[in-house]
Amino acid sequence: MYRKRKRIQSRYGKKESHSSKQKEVESASSLAENVDYIKESLFQSADLKKRSVHFDGREGMLLYIESLTDDKRLWKEVLQPITRHREGELEEILPAVDIKPERDLTKGVDALVDGNSLLFLEESREFFILGTGAAYKRDIKEPENESVVRGAHDGFVEQLTINLYSIRKRINSPRLKVRFFEIGRIAKTKVAMVYMEDLANPDLIKAVEERVNTITADTLTSAGFLQEFTEDAPLSPFPQHLNTERPDRTVAHVMEGRVALLLEGDPTALIAPVTLFAFYQTPDDYHSRWIVGSFVRAIRLMSFLIAFQLPAFYIATIAFHAAILPIDLIFSIKGSLEQVPFPPLIEALLMELIFELLREAGIRLPSRVGQTIGIVGGLVIGDAIVKAGLVSYTMIIVVAMTAIASFLVPSNEMSASIRILRFPMMIAAATFGYIGISFVLMIIFIHLIKIHSFGTPYLAPVAPLRIRDMKDTFLRFPIWILRNRPHDPHPKRMEQESISREWNRRDP
Amino acid sequence: MLRKWVCWLMIASVFLLPGCWDQDLLKDARLVYAKGYDRSPDGKVIQTLVIRRVTPGEEPKPLNTVHSAVGSTVRDASESNLLKIDNLRFYKFQVELLGESLAKKDLFSYMDVIYRDPEAPLTAKFAVVDGKASDILQQKKVSEKLIGEYLVKLIESGEEQSTFPQETVQSIRPKMLDPGRDFVLPDIKQKGKEVVIKGAAMFHGHRMTGTLDPDQSILFTLLSGEPGKSARFSKKVNPGKVTNPSNYITVSADGRKVKRKMKVNVRRNGEVEVDLEVNLPVTVMEYAQDRLDEEKQVKRLNKTLSKILTEEADEVIGKMKKARCDGLGVGRQLIAYHPEVWKEKKWSRDYPKVRFHPKVKVEIVGSGILN
């Protein structure tokens, strides 16, 4: 994998990949020449607006991209003061905006695209970059796919600065470090890497940095791109970054010594390294009392097994090993199977297909029509398909159970992976019965044990076994027992809590 | 390109197809619920199968169909049944009835096929039928209940009340092959339109050699130390008219609390003596004369009941000796503890010479409200 990336890099050449090393273009002293250059650089784009001004007795030209600029600010903070004063030092006249003198026209173009406006004056080689960018902000709302019962109800938004604000607000520490990367050869995207300087392992930081820096794509449109460019085993069905839109979840992981990657324009934080079990933890586990949290987590881990094995076991049972069914059950299952014209695998695939169709359609449809899907899917198809004798009742129960179990996973990526995994399981079950299931399970677990996420074994703390980390794996032990951080991201400092309940011991 | 695809297709089919060969769809299986074997006068096996079907639809209704076929062996008969019914599956049969005519011959040769089939259910029950097994199965229904279910319930309740020894496909096999141990199976018969408990059928080696009445078979399960949930007796304990119910007492023993001690002693002259002691803590279920709060009364009843049951135990053992059925496993004890004695014995000849000293001790522990 690594070798491949190197080859790609050499093919495109390093110079081209980093556009910051473009040739400088000195601005001319003629106003018209400069304006023409900018216009040409933007390929005569229609939303580039210009406005002539008089300042210091000279002709000037204000250039801005209409869609990126805040009209009101431009009028109030730039045009009004200039027309009123007519002369003087620009920085004194315009106290409310960022002013940066510049001579390089390519930088001017970059600034323009970023939302700034440019002020050119006649007979001057210097021009000014004025920070008048518009910022349309979305409310900080709770992410819909990661809502919790109790606890914080804010989420990430599409703006990186706001997301960083959410994280910094929670970690009031000078040790929280943010580093920026500009990724993309054509359109640059700002990527922020957030970690605790005194916790995150230096090797991990180096690895993340290296992988992010080697990305040579033209653009990064979403966190998914970043994920695919940086993960260890890109062919694996399992996600190796934890995607979350919750600041509190991100902060919890950062405080365990992990690294969070945030992307401008995407309300997702990618957390690395993670283990399989991280996908089954939710903030809710820690908000509720530990007994409740443990119970819910145990159920969730059970759902992991149900979600990809139940249909396979059902198929294998009715196609190969019906003898294991208790006598009373065997006849009720048989009664429901009697009319079905398909072999169990086809029956299951048909039902799974219908379910996946309904799920996908449910996401795409506007919410008002969405209800119809529920009625069509649940009532009409679910009931009619049995009455028509195409699918048995028990199969519907099995598929419904599986569907519910797969949605129990707090992470959407993991949920999707598991839904995919049950298809090979089902095929193996339909061809070899329980033997087929055990073989596919073996392959899956061998794979899980083999893969790493940024140097951390994916199945830790089960393989390699580390019993002390089990406290927060299958169950959620009381927080005062979780003295040490989990071992898997190899944090610099292990202890996270020491004697919080000392008062209890002091009393006689 | 095409060759590459064909190659892939072949590899895929190597992985996917061989399993399908072993597929055995529940949907198509004709499940045998109960089966029965009889012996025709000319020595052939008559196999009668009760196949449970379910009417498809929203509310599945169970249905029974009964099929019979003749063959020179069990498997042969199955084959001729298979000609009539496709996809016959035996992996869920619950009960096997053995006609008396067949049980009195070599039973083992009829059971061989069960023990060869890895899918055969180990918990299925056996019962010997006084008469023909096919007659019972052909009834299809007994008092609104399907015949297979009815038979299973009948045998299970018999086991619960200690009337039948608890034997299954799994448990009788070692007893069948053990020279020092015989087995006893439930015995049922058809009475009008009903099927009733007849007692127990005693076997020696692989053949049926005698029967026990229901009362006797309860004693047998107690003596063998493997009673069911409870064991119940009604005995006449007072002098007086036989027709007066108040002269009788009905007691019930909790199967878990029954203690049995069996000791096999070998005399110097090679004679085998067996001390058999059964402690029976019982609860009075019915006794119209009551006065059970008086210690004297209770003691008298204890004594009378012990005496009656000890006498009856003697009778049971007499019957067992006559049938040469070593249902208590005396021979097994000899093999284990006195192998040199065992070597000199020819068990089917010497077993009736064993001297038993049975002793049943009844103690009334509950006399009031039933639980």
CB-CB neighbours of B182 under 10 Å: 26
- For testing contact with chain B, the best of A313, A425, A427, A431 (most B CBs within 10 A): A431
Q: Which residue of B has its CA nearest to A436?
A: B19
A350 Cα to chain B: minimum distance (Å): 17
Do residues A220 and A191 touch, judged by C-beta distance below 8 A?
yes
Put simply, the answer to whether A436 touches B15 (Cβ < 8 Å) is no
Q: Can you give A273-335 as a three-state secondary structure string? A: CCCHHHHHCCHHHHHCCHHHHHHHHHHHHHHHHHHHHHHHHHHHHHHCCHHHCCHHHHHHHHH
CA dihedral A429, A432, A437, A443 (to 10 degrees): -120
**A343 contact residues in B (CB cutoff 8 A):** 23, 25
Paired with B207 in beta bridges are: B204
Which of A1-10, A236-245, A454-463, B5-14 is the least confident region?
A: A1-10
Res. B94: pLDDT tops 60 = yes
> What is the per-residue pLDDT for B159?
93
Question: Domains in chain B, please, with CATH?
Answer: 24-212 (no CATH), 214-371 (3.30.300.210)
Q: Distance between CA A436 and CA A442 in Å, rounded? A: 10
Q: What is the CA radius of gyration of chain A?
A: 29
Q: What is the CA radius of gyration of chain B?
A: 26
**B26 contact residues in A (CB cutoff 8 A):** 317-319, 322, 325, 330, 333-334, 337
Res. A16: pLDDT tops 50 = no
Tokens of A274: 């993670």
What's B144's DSSP letter? T
Angle at CA of residue B20, ends B16 and B26, nearest 5°: 140
Put simply, the answer to whether B23 touches A335 (Cβ < 8 Å) is no
- Reading phi first (left if > 0) and then psi (alpha if -120 to 50, else beta), residue B291 is in left
Q: Distance between CA A365 and CA A236 in Å, rounded? A: 30
Paired with B30 in beta bridges are: B88
> What is the per-residue pLDDT for B51?
92
Res. A14: pLDDT tops 60 = no
How does pLDDT run across A422-449, given as a tens digit for each residue? Answer: 999 999 999 899 999 999 999 999 999 9
> What is the per-residue pLDDT for B57?
65
Chain mean position to CA A328: 48
Q: Which amino acid is at B109?
A: S
Res. A148: pLDDT tops 70 = yes
Give residues with Cβ within 8 angstroms of B11, minimum separation 6: none
| Overall residue count recorded for chain A in this entry | 508
- Give the nearest partner residue to B119 out of A319, A323, A334, using CB atoms: A323
> What is the per-residue pLDDT for A508?
58
Do residues A38 and A108 touch, judged by C-beta distance below 8 A?
yes
Q: Which amino acid is at B117?
A: D
Across A319-348, average pLDDT: 89
Taking alpha carbons only, the member of A242, A279, A284, A276 closest to residue A259 is: A242
- For testing contact with chain B, the best of A321, A331, A425 (most B CBs within 10 A): A331
Give just the sign of the alpha carbon dihedral B339, B341, B345, B351: negative
What's A138's DSSP letter? P
- What percentage of chain A has pLDDT greater than the value 70? 95
Residues 217-256 of B with CB under 8 A from A: none
How does pLDDT run across B54-71, given as a tens digit for each residue? Answer: 877 667 788 888 999 999
- Give the nearest partner residue to A323 out of B15, B92, B94, using CB atoms: B92
Q: Which amino acid is at A422?
A: R
Do residues A449 and A269 touch, judged by C-beta distance below 8 A?
no
How does pLDDT run across B238-263, given as a tens digit for each residue? Answer: 888 888 888 999 999 998 999 999 99
Res. A169: pLDDT tops 60 = yes
Give residues with Cβ within 8 angstroms of B61, minimum separation 6: B54, B55
- The string of DSSP codes covering B56-106 is -SSS-EEEEEEEEEEESSHHHHHHHHHHHSTTEE-TT--EEEEEHHHHTS-
Please report, for residues A248, B55, B312, the alpha-carbon distance to residue A252 in angstroms, rounded to integers and kept in the order given. Answer: 6, 58, 79
Q: Distance between CA B78 and CA B93 in Å, rounded? A: 14
Cis omega before residue A343 (within 30°)?
no
Q: Which amino acid is at B312?
A: E
Q: Which amino acid is at A463?
A: A
Q: Distance between CA A370 and CA A355 in Å, rounded? A: 15
- Give the nearest partner residue to A336 out of B20, B24, B60, using CB atoms: B60
User: Tokens 């028509």 belong to which residue?
Assistant: A388
Q: Who has greater pLDDT, A373 or A288?
A: A288
Beta strand A117-121 with A242-244 is: unpaired
Chain mean position to CA A156: 10
Q: Which residue of B has its CA nearest to A344?
A: B25
- For testing contact with chain A, the best of B15, B27, B51, B90 (most A CBs within 10 A): B27
Q: Distance between CA A161 and CA B295 in Å, rounded? A: 93
Structure ipTM over 0.95, yes or no:
no
Across A22-31, average pLDDT: 76
> What is the per-residue pLDDT for A507?
61
Put simply, the answer to whether A343 touches B15 (Cβ < 8 Å) is no
What long-range pairs does A325-333 form, CB within 8 A, spacing at least 24?
A: A325/B26, A327/B92, A327/B94, A330/B26, A330/B31, A330/B92, A331/B31, A331/B52, A331/B54, A331/B60, A331/B62, A332/B54, A332/B60, A333/A392, A333/A394, A333/B26
Question: What does pTM read for this prediction?
Answer: 0.82
> What is the per-residue pLDDT for A113?
85
Across A226-239, average pLDDT: 92
Put simply, the answer to whether B24 touches A389 (Cβ < 8 Å) is no
Do residues B24 and A344 touch, judged by C-beta distance below 8 A?
no
> What is the per-residue pLDDT for A9?
45
CA dihedral A398, A402, A408, A410 (to 10 degrees): 180
Across B68-84, average pLDDT: 90
Do residues B78 and B35 touch, judged by C-beta distance below 8 A?
no
CB-CB neighbours of A497 under 10 Å: 13
Give just the sign of the alpha carbon dihedral B312, B318, B323, B329: positive
Tokens of B306: 């012990």
Phi, psi of A101 (to 5 degrees): -75, 145
Please report, for residues A440, B6, B21, B49, the alpha-carbon distance to residue B62 in angstroms, rounded to integers and kept in the order given. Answer: 37, 48, 30, 16
Q: Which residue of A has its CA nearest to B55?
A: A335
Do residues B131 and B190 touch, judged by C-beta distance below 8 A?
yes
Q: Distance between CA B8 and CA B5 in Å, rounded? A: 5
Where does the pLDDT of residue A20 fall: very low under 50, low under 70, confident under 90, or very high at 90 and above? very low
CB contact B19 to A (< 8 Å): yes
Helix axes B214-223, B295-323, angle to 10 degrees: 90
Put simply, the answer to whether B60 touches A433 (Cβ < 8 Å) is no
Put simply, the answer to whether B62 touches A389 (Cβ < 8 Å) is no
CB-CB neighbours of A160 under 10 Å: 21
Q: Which residue of B has its CA nearest to A316?
A: B23
Tokens of A426: 């089902």
Paired with A453 in beta bridges are: A456
How does pLDDT run across A370-410, given as a tens digit for each residue? Answer: 777 778 777 777 788 888 888 888 999 999 899 899 888 88
Q: How far apart are the two ends of chain B, measured CA to CA in Å?
A: 81
A359 Cα to chain B: minimum distance (Å): 27
Put simply, the answer to whether B26 touches A343 (Cβ < 8 Å) is no
How does pLDDT run across B120-138, given as a tens digit for each residue? Answer: 899 999 999 999 999 999 9
Beta strand B125-130 with B95-99 is: parallel
Taking alpha carbons only, the member of A263, A265, A111 closest to residue A183 is: A263
- Give the nearest partner residue to B91 out of A323, A335, A337, using CB atoms: A323
CA dihedral A404, A410, A411, A412 (to 10 degrees): 40
**Chain A interface with B: residues with Cβ < 8 Å:** 317-320, 322-323, 325, 327, 330-340, 343-344, 387, 389, 427, 430-433, 436
Q: Which residue of A has its CA nearest to B31?
A: A331
Q: Distance between CA B307 and CA B264 in Å, rounded? A: 23
CB contact B54 to A (< 8 Å): yes
The rounded mean pLDDT for chain A is: 86
Do residues A175 and A167 touch, judged by C-beta distance below 8 A?
no
**Secondary structure E strands in A346-500:** 452-453, 456-457
CB contact B52 to A (< 8 Å): yes
A105 Cα to chain B: minimum distance (Å): 55
Res. A261: pLDDT tops 90 = yes
Taking alpha carbons only, the member of A125, A126, A127, A122 closest to residue A58 is: A122
Where does the pLDDT of residue A12 fall: very low under 50, low under 70, confident under 90, or very high at 90 and above? very low
Give residues with Cβ within 8 angstroms of B28, minimum separation 6: B86, B87
